[in-house]
Amino acid sequence: MAPTAVEKLLALLFWAAVGLLFAVFRVLSRPNAAAPVRKLPPVANPLLLLSATQLAKKIRRREVSSVEVVQAYIDRIQDVNPLINAVIKDRFDAALQEAAQVDKLIEEETDGEEVLEDRLPLLGVPLSVKSSYAFQGMPFTSGLRSRSGVVASVDAPPLTLLKKAGAIPLVTTNTSELCMWLESHNHLHGITNNPYDLERIPGGSSGGEGSLLGAAGSVIGVGSDIGGSIRIPAFFNGIFGHKTTSAKGVVSSENQYPPSSGRHKEYLSLGPMCRYAEDLKPMLKIMAGPNAHMLSLNASVDLKKLRFFTIPHDSGSVWTNAVSEELMEVQRKVVERLEADLGVRVQEVCFPELSHSFQIWDTYMRLPDDEGNPPTSFSKLMGEPGRPAWPAWELLKRTVGKSDHTVAAIGLGLMEWTEASAPSQSTVQMKERLQKKVDELLGTDGVFLYPSHPRVAPRHHHPLFRPFDFAYTGILNTLGLSVTQCPLGLGEEGLPLGVQVVAGRLQDHLSLEVALFLEKAFGGWREPGSPATNADGAEQAS
């Protein structure tokens, strides 16, 4: 049923009220200087500081057992999860049994280490899984209260492939409600915290993954991304994340919830999240399965022969915050390191169309598929498995604490009512112009740097007041590009800095190679509580 004029007015008033409350909320949400600051315990077990690639090698060589590695991560999760609330459910007993079977297999193996590596490259390595992936026997809720009793009966294809490669899943992790918000908060599993500052958000929708990885409670994980849901949590939690080229079927999106509809499969990407850059490519090869060849992951890359560009901001959108000086400075430092270490020239470019990134993303997310089927409305998803939710009624219920839905989800439902039924042709034409410019710029040997977000991780609930800042990531989904999110040390507040490294369609191997370079240049993941770093990766004097 189409919304009435009154309902549309209510939707507009909702967002106007949110804006007016911003100043009050900022005052009320200021941290109490007298309150004790809660911090994560330091990493004590050195096994937690090795990449998945290194762990797998040690396990194959019997230098450490899979049981020891799995137990180390179980211990760490039990230490940190009460503080970050990233885990929905664990399977620790089953994982230890699987680890014991791995150790027995290695003891009996007669074909040699290389054969084992080729057949089972992640043998015995722990893995965390975003709860929007179907994971047999585990909750399959995507943060929706009406799905509280839903348990997956199968594994999503990428998870099946990772398990076949020897990985051992330990936990499933929290998301935003229905995976469509920057903050991993829902009324079924609660709110997830950022490990670098528990008063801040870990991002969304793969926020549970990002938080657990940043806290050293996981070494590798899997996420999904239709507007930044891998890259924003990777940025806020100081880890690596890769948005695979947006192309139907490169990494299967089957058995995900919510399911894709409309043209969403063209923009949805599944990919790896991890603390160490060397794990990105092996994980992506496994997750892509028979389609891995499409991404040229085995091609050698000479960084000195690539063409590099930098785009420092979105040309001044009225919808987004301006990029902070701290993030602009660290991007300039990346440019300096590329030029100094590789002898390349990094050219600054500007695309005025980027100032309309949100409108472009929003327009294309609402387009029907080739058969004319529109995407499933957010209000319908909110109400499943029953009738569609009525956001105006849910808003009234929320004022007295009776709604099953978060304010963010209700706001998204209301926003649907204010949108035009037909896409703006001027926006479509603008996207086509931008697509042509970007494709010509990148070709098959170009890479550009672009801010991950206008600010470092904000405090809890603050995205409600600037809901469109995700446009810095969302536009790259609409353009179908491959993107690797790279950490660049910690800033003045001890929060992760970072940048997006963007390559052309099906040129994922280029941004992944740049990620390896940036990890060496800037130090990669830093343990929460580490000293802040200068923009070139060196520790600041305290």
**Contact call for residues 500 and 449 (beta carbons, < 8 A):** yes
**Nearest CA among 131, 126, 138 for reference residue 73:** 126
Among the options 51, 65, 184, 205, which is catalytic? 205
3-class secondary-structure state, position 239: coil
**pLDDT at residue 127 in the model:** 98
Is the entire prediction scored with pTM above 0.85?
yes
Which residues neighbour 352 within 8 Å (Cβ) at sequence distance 6 or greater?
A: 315
d(CA 56, CA 71): 15
Asked if residue 66 lies in contact with residue 49, where contact means CB atoms within 8 angstroms, the answer is no
pLDDT value, residue 23: 41
Report the pLDDT value the prediction gives residue 541, as an integer from 0 to 100. Answer: 44
- Distance, in Å, from the CA atom of 424 to the CA atom of 430, rounded to the nearest integer, reads 10
Mean model confidence pLDDT for the chain: 92
Question: What are the extents of the domains in the chain?
Answer: 43-367+423-522
What would the two tokens of residue 277 be?
């850059």
Q: How many CB atoms are located within 10 Å of the residue 527 CB?
A: 18
What is the rounded CA–CA span in Å between residue 79 and residue 93?
Answer: 17
Calpha distance 181→203 (Å, rounded):
8
194, two tokens: 């950022």
pLDDT at 35: 57
Q: Single out the catalytic residue among 66, 218, 229, 379.
A: 229
Q: What is the DSSP letter of 347?
A: E
Res 311 pLDDT > 50:
yes
DSSP 416-442: HHHS-SS--HHHHHHHHHHHHHHHHHH
pLDDT-based confidence at 111, cuts 50/70/90?
confident
- Give me 414's structure tokens: 């209301």
Q: Give first-to-last CA distance, the chain, whole Å.
A: 61
The fold of 43-367+423-522 is: Amidase signature (AS) enzymes (3.90.1300)
Local confidence band at 514 (pLDDT 50, 70, 90 cut-offs): very high
- The CA R_g of the chain, rounded to the nearest whole Å, is 22
Q: Model confidence over 425-447: pLDDT tens digits?
A: 999 999 999 999 999 999 999 99
What pLDDT shows up at residue 529? 86
Whether cis (ω within 30° of 0) applies to the bond prior to 42 is no
**Tell me: the pLDDT tens digits for 375-406?**
999 999 999 989 999 999 999 999 999 999 99
In sequence order, which ranges of 85-165 are alpha helices (DSSP H)? Answer: 92-108, 113-119, 157-164
Q: What is the mean pLDDT of residues 226-235?
A: 98
Contact in structure between 265 and 241 (CB atoms under 8 Å)? no
Cα separation, 323 vs 454, whole angstroms: 4
Residue 530 pLDDT class (50, 70, 90 cuts)? confident
Catalytic residue among 65, 66, 130, 317: 130
Q: Which conformational region is residue 117 in: left (phi greater than 0), alpha (psi within -120 to 50 degrees), or beta?
A: alpha
Active-site residue flag, 130: yes
Has residue 537 got a pLDDT over 90? no
Q: Is pLDDT above 90 for 233?
A: yes
